[in-house]
Structures are given as structure tokens and as C-alpha cells.
Amino acid sequence: MEMNKLYGWAGRLLFVDLGSGRIELRATEPYAEKYVGGRGFASRVAWDELPDGTGALDPANILMVTVGPLTGTTAPHSGRTTIAGLSPQGWPHEWFSRSGLGGRWGSTLKYAGFDGIFIKGKASEPVYLWIEDGKAEVRPAKHLWGKGIYETQQVLMAEHGKDIRVLTIGQAGEHLSRIAVISTETESSAGQGGYGAVMGSKNLKAIAVRGNGAVRIAQPDEFLRKTKLIHKECHASHSFNKISKLDPMKVEKYGQRWQACTQQCSQCCLGSRFYSDVPGPVTGRRCAGQFHCVGTLFPGSPGSFYDWDIGFEGGFEAATYSNDWGLNHWDVLLGIIPWLRSCVQAGYLKDIDGMKFDLNDPKFWIELMRKITFREGIGDVLAEGGRRAPGLLGFGDDMIKPLYAAWGYAGHWDGHGDHANTIVFPFWLVPALQWAVDVRDPLGSGHGYGQVIMNWSPIVNPAGGLPWEKIKKVGAMVWKGEHAADPESGYEDKAFPAVFEGNRSILKDSLTADDQIYPRIFSAKTPDGYSRADGMEGPQFEWHMFAAATGSKMSYEDLNRCGERVANLERALQIRYFGRSRRDDEVVIPYLESEENLANPFFGSKQSLDRVKFLKLMDEYYDLRGWDKVSGWPTRGKLAEMGLEDVAQRLYEGKA
């Protein structure tokens, strides 16, 4: 059946019911114009088809695996995959949420002819989904159940050929750990959200894909011209081309090579390296794989908050086992481990199931993660996620609160719980707003303000950054306020950046485009520090590529409105299913009222959140969003403006 009348999109969506075995194909076109792809498609399908009262591990939950119109093209820094559905990691509710991963799986799905897969139901026995060039079938997976992520891929490649791509879970997902990941290759994972447990709850071990097709481009010559210019502007001008004090990857042996984590990304972010034949000091196993991002904390960093020291080899081996079993590195390293350490220091714990608590022993690390994976002893509780652990064990709640910002997720670029990233007041105010209104760690695709300013600043990057005067001027232009990027400012001009970056985060998850690059704002290649390429302004790069790829007549403003539309639809989902209100948003405030980790040199002392000023900042945010300042709900008028009249009718049904 020919469905693709579109350019950029593959043209078809795949709906699978594992309970009945039914497989349905739908056209992408009805979703494309208003919701773009990826995260947008997922939110609309959730609103239309996710039953009220569903739990994250219920058969009725829909596992959504989606890509976008730039996925599978030569657009630089594109190619990611968005995962969505009700989230097992979500706390205190199993919110509808999302995650994302890199690798080459998403592009292969496009080449196979699909823009997304939506899976509900539960198979009676373990299965995997096999997709090849427009066709799909559910196949038995008993022979894969119990295997790790690496071996599962190897077995399926032996059966189908090395040209396939596999998305799979490890044993943590099979045991329904709320911090289980979905992975492809050696370390590309949908880490946050616990979606590995959703696959496990459905008896779905893997999704294997072969695609021999291509993505049709509306304006191929123009697309090639623009993507070359954008690639040239972005390349070797990224603030992550540096070695952090927390990055132990100074090892020149073991055949290390730089390796980007997504198909079309040519940038080498922090610690993004592939190592081969690394000897494991615990098992003697020779390990290979990619090692980057938060995983680089496994070896430890003496003298920092993450002060353990198991050496590069020990850390790499621990990371390899964690990857293979399918555990969320962020929750383990920034949540569970620091919390356990505090509990031991306070006398709540003397040991771990009779095992000495020793963070300098690599054997301890691997045994602890094995217990979490297979739900043995205290690992059965920790598999529920770090934020739930104190309530289940009856101690340590006071020690978990400084580590977890909100919603069941350890801190990230908020200046408080996360000690791995450098951000100072006032720049963590924008992430604070993002945390307040989200359902998960918002920085997975929302780095575009705090991280960007800090890593281009003289504070973090004195050699390769920009002077503050350039940062302030560019920031004032992009984020609509003279104080938006001013290091000596406070709460003024911080609401608009939170709205802008929130919308752009959604677009990046929908197109799909790399969060570490887009929206492109600063540059070391222009006199004023503002990113440009042959007349194209940096913040508009994604729109230029989208327009040339799809032939869409949407303006730049129209595309941004698509992100805004999805933001309102997601808020409506939270209200409909969980009664979300402003009261929920404000739960992040006590976490931020503690003293920040590091002091801004312009202030000379550490700052804390001012509740009164932040509440006024939230008022500004709601006004810009078109949400009621008392309830936190999108108004009827705002939903109508976004073309969501049916959502408004359902949401306000029976209300005056």
C-alpha cells in the first residue's frame, strides 16, 4: 500500500498489538503538519488512544518509538530516536513522558519505511518485532530472554545479517526495574524513564530492523547546500571540545578513538570515545565499547563530590556490565550511589547484604549492579529507582532530597544536586522553571540555555569561550531581554528563555536533531559571537533543513508554534491523567532553596532560590505560555489558538 506522499517523512506509522497479534499501518500525513514527528507524534497518539487509568507496566500502556523528518538524512547532528509512553520511573506519578537515544537504529527505521512504532498489549511469551522494508512481524524470543544487550544484538545479527539494527533490553528490563534502559549498539540508550521495564512488561525483548530504502528530499540541491554550510559552521566550534576535570578519559591505550553517538553527528562531545580490549580487573573479561557522558564518572574523581577511585579499567568494566544489563547510569551514579554513601555515613546502613560498602572496590560496584539488575536483596528495592528507595526502606528520605530535583530524577544542570556540571546563579533559574513544569529531567533535550551559556563562558571555558559582553548581547537578542544572559543579573528576563528552550526541546525530539548542538546560538567563527552561515541565523538552522527536506511552507515561527502546540498538549495530558496543577509545579522549590554548589565569581558567595521572586517568575512563565496563573492549566483560548479545540473540549468538559 503506497502511503508516502510526503518528502522527509517515510510516510507510514506502524501500530502493533502484542496481545492480539494485530499489525496496522497508518499514514503519517495526518500527523505531520501539526506535530512534525517524534515527540509530537507520540503526544498526539497518547491523547487519542491511551486509556484513562492505565499504569506504566499495564498492557494498555503504549510504547512509542518515533523518529522525525530529519532522521535518516544527511542533516548534520540528526538521527536520534524518541521513546515515549507512561514512565515507570516517574514519581509520584507514572507520568506520560519521553526519552531518547542515538546510534543508527532510528535512521534504519526510516529506511525501512516507518516514522514510528506504537506497541500495546502483552505477548503470552517472549517475542521480538522484526521489521524489514515496509513489513513487520512478531517472532518468538525465548532464545533471547535472559541475555544481555550485547549478546541479544549478536544473536539477532547472526540470524538476520550484520546489516540490521537492534533496539533491545537487558536483564534489568526483563525484571521490570524502574531504571531499566532500552539500548542499541554499545552505549546508545534511552536512559531516563524506565522504558526498558515497559518492554519487559510486554514480553518484548527487541525490535530488529533492516531498511534498504531512502528518505526522499523535496529540494535535494538546496538541502545539500544548506547542510554543508551548517555543518561547517558547527564543526570544531563547540564548547564540548575540552577535557573536564571530571573526565578520566585521558587513556591513550586500548585503541581509543573518537566516536560520535549518533549517525549524523560529527562532533566529539565530552568523553565520547570508543575503547577496545580493555582488561576488566574483576572478571578478567576484555571489554569494548563507547564510554561517554555520565558514564565517565564510573572510575571516580578523587577530590570531587564523586570521590571514589576504581581506576579507568575498573570504571570501564563497571560501565560495560551496567550497559549490558541495561541500567540507567544517571540514576545509579548521581542518585543511588551518593544516597547509599550518605546512609552509610549516617549509620542507617552498615553494609549491603553483608557486603562491605566500599566505593573504591570495583568488585563492590559490579556486585551491587548485579543485585539491582536481578532484584536480589536490597537490589530489589533499588531497582524501584533511587527516589522510591527511602520510602520502601524506611530511612534516608532527608538524604535523598538534596540529590533528586523532582519527578523521580536526580538533579541535572540545576546548580544543586548534580555536581558534575558547572552552572551558577542566575543561570540555573531557567532550568529551575523547566524542572518545575516538566514530568522528568528536562535537560535531556533542553540544554540550550544553561549549559550553552556556561560552556561558552569564561567561567567554564576560559581558553575557548567568549567574553561576557558578546554572550550578553547575543543572549539579549535570542532570549528577548537585556538581562537574559547577564552574569550579574537575577530573576529578570528568565521566563522567556524557559518558554523558548522548552519549545525547542520538543522540536529537537520531533525532528529529530541533536540537543548538544541545536539551537545553535553562539559561535567562535563570527566577530560578534552569534552563529550564522551564509545568511542563515544559527537559531533557525533546524527550520532551514526541515523546509528543504520536506518542502513545507511553514515559516520559522510556524515551526516553533508546533513545539508550543505539543507543550500545551503534553500539559493537557498531565492534567487529564494525573490532575496536574500549579501546586505540583511548586514542589521543586524546596530543593532549590538550598545553597547552590558553586558561587558565581560576580557575586562572590553561593546563592539560594528566593521563593517570593521565583513565584513571580513562575507567574511570568504562565503568562507567556497562556496558562492560568492559579491552576497552571492552559486556557481554553490558548488551546484553541494552538488548534487543540478537541483537547479543550475534553479537558474542560463539565466545567463552567
Reported as a single tens digit per residue, the pLDDT across 205-235 is 999 999 999 999 999 999 999 999 999 998 7
Reported as a single tens digit per residue, the pLDDT across 520-533 is 999 999 999 999 99
- 242 pLDDT band, cuts 50/70/90, is very low
Rg (CA), the chain: 23
Reported as a single tens digit per residue, the pLDDT across 100-120 is 999 899 999 999 999 999 999
Reported as a single tens digit per residue, the pLDDT across 136-171 is 999 999 999 999 999 999 999 999 999 999 999 999
Rounded to 10°, the helix 362-374/311-325 angle is 10
Dihedral of alpha carbons 40, 45, 47, 48, sign: positive
628: Cβ–Cβ under 8 A, 6 or more apart, which residues? Answer: 622, 634, 635
Please check the confidence at residue 512 and state whether its pLDDT lies above 70. yes
Average of pLDDT values for 484-489?
Answer: 98
DSSP collapsed to 3 states, 558-605: HHHHHHHHHHHHHHHHHHHHHCCCHHHHHHHHHHHCCCCCCCCCCCCC
Please check the confidence at residue 200 and state whether its pLDDT lies above 60. yes
Reported as a single tens digit per residue, the pLDDT across 582-598 is 999 999 999 999 999 99
Is domain 12-210 given the CATH code 3.40.109.10 in the classification?
no
Average of pLDDT values for 491-502?
Answer: 98
Give the residue with greater pLDDT, 185 vs 209: 209
- Cβ neighbours, 10 Å, residue 133: 12
80: Cβ–Cβ under 8 A, 6 or more apart, which residues? Answer: 67, 71, 100, 101, 102, 106, 262, 509, 512, 513, 514
**168: closest CA among 128, 130, 202, 113?**
128
Kind plus residue range of the DSSP H or E element containing 437 = helix 429-437
Sheet strand arrangement including 22-27: 22-27, 12-17, 116-120, 63-66, 81-86, 96-101
Q: Which residues on adjacent β-strands are paired with residue 27?
A: 12
Q: Is residue 25 helix, strand or coil? A: strand
Confidence at residue 234, expressed as pLDDT on a 0 to 100 scale: 86
> Residue 20: phi, psi to the nearest 5?
-95, -20
**82: closest CA among 513, 615, 597, 554?**
513
Measured between alpha carbons, how far is 627 from 619 in angstroms, rounded to an integer? 9
Please check the confidence at residue 182 and state whether its pLDDT lies above 60. yes
Lowest mean pLDDT among 401-410, 443-452, 489-498: 443-452
Confidence at residue 295, expressed as pLDDT on a 0 to 100 scale: 87
Confidence at residue 91, expressed as pLDDT on a 0 to 100 scale: 97
Q: Is the link from the previous residue into 519 a cis peptide, with omega within 30 of 0?
A: yes
Confidence at residue 359, expressed as pLDDT on a 0 to 100 scale: 97
Residue 68, judged by CB atoms within 10 A of its CB (0-12, 13-18, 19+), counts as buried
Confidence at residue 273, expressed as pLDDT on a 0 to 100 scale: 77
Hey, what CATH class is 221-404 in?
mainly alpha
DSSP letter at 402? T
Please check the confidence at residue 250 and state whether its pLDDT lies above 80. no
Confidence at residue 463, expressed as pLDDT on a 0 to 100 scale: 84
DSSP letter at 381? H
Report yes or no: 576 and 654 within 8 Å, Cβ to Cβ.
Answer: no
Give the residue with greater pLDDT, 611 vs 447: 611
**78: closest CA among 263, 224, 267?**
263
Report yes or no: 8 and 74 within 8 Å, Cβ to Cβ.
Answer: no
Please check the confidence at residue 248 and state whether its pLDDT lies above 70. no
> Residue 217: phi, psi to the nearest 5?
-110, 130
Reported as a single tens digit per residue, the pLDDT across 364-391 is 999 999 999 999 999 999 999 999 999 9
Please check the confidence at residue 245 and state whether its pLDDT lies above 50. no
Runs of H (alpha helix) within 305-428: 311-325, 329-331, 337-345, 362-374, 379-382, 389-393, 397-400
Reported as a single tens digit per residue, the pLDDT across 441-481 is 999 888 999 999 999 999 998 888 899 999 999 999 999 99
Reported as a single tens digit per residue, the pLDDT across 291-316 is 878 888 999 999 999 999 999 999 99
Measured between alpha carbons, how far is 75 from 230 in angstroms, rounded to an integer? 9
Please check the confidence at residue 247 and state whether its pLDDT lies above 50. no
Please check the confidence at residue 611 and state whether its pLDDT lies above 60. yes
Report yes or no: 66 and 41 within 8 Å, Cβ to Cβ.
Answer: yes
Confidence at residue 254, expressed as pLDDT on a 0 to 100 scale: 80
Please check the confidence at residue 135 and state whether its pLDDT lies above 50. yes
Confidence at residue 2, expressed as pLDDT on a 0 to 100 scale: 47
Please check the confidence at residue 243 and state whether its pLDDT lies above 80. no
Confidence at residue 246, expressed as pLDDT on a 0 to 100 scale: 40
Confidence at residue 187, expressed as pLDDT on a 0 to 100 scale: 81
Please check the confidence at residue 648 and state whether its pLDDT lies above 70. yes
- 3 pLDDT band, cuts 50/70/90, is low
- 554 pLDDT band, cuts 50/70/90, is very high
Domain spans in the chain, listed from the N-terminal domain onward: 12-210, 221-404, 420-521+553-651
Widest pairwise Cα distance in the chain? 69
Vertex 96: Cα angle to 93 and 97 (nearest 5)? 105
- 274 pLDDT band, cuts 50/70/90, is confident
Average pLDDT value over all residues in the chain: 93
Report yes or no: 408 and 90 within 8 Å, Cβ to Cβ.
Answer: yes
DSSP letter at 156? H
**75: closest CA among 221, 227, 213, 225?**
227
| pTM of structure | 0.95
Any idea which architecture 420-521+553-651 has in CATH?
Orthogonal Bundle (1.10)
